[in-house]
Structure 1
Amino acid sequence: MASRVSLKSRGKEGKGSKGSDEKSTAQCLKEWSTWTMKKAKVITHYGFIPLVIIIGMNSDPKPQLYQFLSPV
């Protein structure tokens, strides 16, 4: 069994190449922004409660950790 290799041609390098460069730049920007938003979502999800605890521990009057976490 022979494996098939497909080669994609890029077309002519002339006036039309600028449009494909802009497409690839737009595609890279879209991929980068999607990746960034996914990472920001994870960071926000796991960092929100520790951030609230840290801000609460640095307030006046300073509570102990068990006082801060207890519901009463």
Structure 2
Amino acid sequence: MSIIVNLDLILAKKKMKSNELAGLMGITTANLSILKTGKAKAIRFSTLDAICKILDCQPGDILEYQNED
């Protein structure tokens, strides 16, 4: 897939663990893991909004497009 999820990088910069983020967002760590590993087929704007609010970042910090060619 040509969309790369950089959530691990942002979490490391903010010195936050995945389970802490999941708890603050009110989602399971399993659902957050699906997003982090790039296995998610979609992301709701409300989820992206919550991540950006909690981590004080922009959507472009989390999602990146890479051409597969």
Normalised to the residue count of structure 2, the TM-score between the two structures is 0.25
Higher helix share goes to which structure?
1
Tell me the TM-score normalized by structure 1.
0.24
Return the structure number with greater relative CO, CA threshold 8 A, min gap 6: 2
Please identify the structure whose Cα radius of gyration is greater: 1
